[in-house]
Amino acid sequence: MAQKILAVDDERLIVDSIKYGLQKEGYVVVAAYDGEQAITKAHDEKPDLILLDVQLPKKDGWAALREIRQTSRAPIIMLTARGEEADKVLGLELGADDYLVKPFSMRELLARVRAALRRATEYVETPAHPTKIGEIELDPASHRVMRNGELLELTRKEYDLLQYLMLNAGKVIARNDLIDKVWHTDWVGDTRTLDVHIRWLREKIEKNPSAPRYIQTVRGVGYRFATPDEVAQ
């Protein structure tokens, strides 16, 4: 079955261009032209991936992203004329998977779409074995993370990063290896994004993020997650 993509932009010429290019590659494309339509169609159409512009009428892309993320785990690629680092970080923090600055080529868009869809498929196929280390319990079957029985709200990328670290507890993971495993080799950003996600994770799972108990920094190398014996001490 062809994968479905929701393209959201208030400029119809851009949507038509995206739709034409994606349909040529065999994707089914549905369109929305404002933030409210984006939220409704994300819920009703259940797309496999969403292309979401930031500058939208009625509700902007940030507001739409927040609401869509409450019910959908589909990959979301932000499309915007903004290129500032702060905007990219905000999009990632709100749950976006990638960020593409206009103007972009159809070739680059297709590469990002394929990469995001592949990562989503790989995630779905992850074995559902619950893992518990200290107060932190991760259940892939329900995509839930608990700390002392309290549900933690993680973005998709925060969850993927935490899962990989916990499954490799005790091992030192080089920063580039973490990027490769969590963002995969298609990642086009830089290692600062990894550090930002580590900081966000620590703020959510650590009692004292400035003196982390679980996610430890190995200077000059990368990160490691503490073993059950270490956190039990």
pLDDT in tens, 80-110: 876 666 666 677 667 788 888 888 899 999 9
CA distances for 103 relative to 21, 53, 166, 213, angstroms:
15, 12, 39, 43
Q: Is the pTM of this model over 0.85?
A: no
Q: Which DSSP state fits 155?
A: -
Quote the CA–CA distance of 76 and 211 in Å, as a whole number. 33
Instruction: Return the top range by mean pLDDT from 13-22, 143-152, 158-167, 193-202.
Output: 13-22
Quickly count: other Cβ atoms within 10 Å of residue 19's Cβ.
Answer: 18
Residue-wise pLDDT for 17-74, tens only, equals 999 999 999 999 999 999 999 999 999 999 999 999 998 999 999 899 989 988 888 8
Provide the pLDDT for residue 121. 67
How large is the angle between the packed helices 61-69 and 85-94, nearest 10 degrees?
Answer: 20
Residue 7 and residue 5: Cα distance in Å, rounded?
6
The yes-or-no verdict on residue 156 having pLDDT over 80 is: no
* Whether the predicted pLDDT of 182 surpasses 60: yes
Band of residue 127 on the pLDDT scale cut at 50, 70, 90: low
Q: Does the domain at residues 131-232 carry the CATH identifier 3.40.50.720? A: no
35 Cβ partners below 8 Å, 6+ apart? Answer: 8, 56, 57, 58, 59, 60, 61, 63, 64
Q: How far apart are CA 161 and CA 185, in angstroms?
A: 15
Q: How many residues does the chain have?
A: 233
- What is the chain's mean pLDDT, rounded? 86
Domain residue spans in the chain? 4-124, 131-232
Could you tell me the sign of the dihedral formed by the alpha carbons of 149, 153, 154, 156, in that order?
A: positive
Residue pair 37/63 in contact (Cβ under 8 Å)? The answer is no
Residues above pLDDT 90, as percent of the chain: 54
Place 185 in a pLDDT band, splitting at 50, 70 and 90: very low
The listed range with the strongest mean pLDDT (126-135, 139-148, 220-229) is 220-229
Longest dimension (CA), the chain: 61
- Architecture per CATH, domain 4-124, reads as 3-Layer(aba) Sandwich (3.40)
